[in-house]
Amino acid sequence: MHEYDSFNEEVLAALGAVVGEDGVLLVEPMREHTTFQVGGSADVVVLPRSEAEAVRALDIVALSELPLTVVGNGSDLLVGDRGIRGIVILFRENMSEISVEGTRVRAQAGALLRDLALSAAEAGLSGLEPLWGIPATVGGACHMNAGAYGGQIADVLESVRVWVPGETGYPGSVKEISVKDLHLGYRKSLIAEKSLVVLSATFALMPDDACAIQSAMDEFRRRREEKQPLEMPSAGSTFKRPEGYFAGKLIMDAGLRGARVGAAQVSEKHCGFVINTGGARAKDVRALIEHVQAEVKRQFGVELEREVKLVGEF
């Protein structure tokens, strides 16, 4: 534990009463919860197993006024080497239920897009095929309006159930929000703007032949495996697509293919990815990202905006 020791005893007891002692992890290495596989430890990681537990845990953190960080698959995060202070609420296997009713699929925040798409395919429901290879949870995908190969969450999302933060020091509330009210755009949403926490989401899909759906998914997988360094730890596309350009081509044209800082490297397979070649430190990844941004700006006058989010202390 860090600077919250005396006060945290009450908070930890309250959280343990909600999620059980095995649902509260102390000084938990965040490299085990991010696809970059770097970063220090979080003071506390909490694993709720239901919406009710998640809401109670979020309210406890809100009342404590300790820092709150919500993490899904950690596929777009770079956690600092000094870790995360306060409380991390983790939505993964602990909250990953998926149910199919007619042409609608409802999933808890911790369900992976991959599993969501596979469940839909098995039910003969189409719409998620371009998204299934994105290594995000449902909560994270809704937060950033994840997309790939011409498809995006906004195309298939019907509504989200969210925890809405209250005033400082007060509990939040739960609300169902229709997709039309989420202001979904390129890598942005009302969820991110208002620091809402996704608890679950409902997707409206279209009936189709299960074999045709699986065939489309296999083709998208082949394209990803062919062009992206999926065999290496990373946070996916490191930069957002600048208007009128492709980030990977700008980086390649800047002569940065294979550029390194420590064990962090610009992928030689796809320059839009910064990868961990083994034992990378967060500060090295961050330094390489900033170097790439500076060089592309210097050479082409284009600002590359990070898609990867920096979390914690560096």
The catalytic site residues sit at 187, 237, 307
69, β-bridge pairs: 88
Residue 16 and residue 63: Cα distance in Å, rounded? 15
Q: Let me know the angle formed at the C-alpha of 69 by 189 and 138, rounded to the nearest 5 degrees.
A: 50
Q: Is 174 exposed, middle or buried (0-12, 13-18, 19+ CB in 10 A)?
A: middle
CA distances from 274 to 113, 279, 283 (A): 22, 14, 13
Beta pairing partners, 309: 77
CA atoms within 13 A on the CB side of 161: 16
* 8 Å CB contact between 189 and 145: yes
Instruction: Please state the separation of Cα 106 from the chain's center in Å.
Output: 18
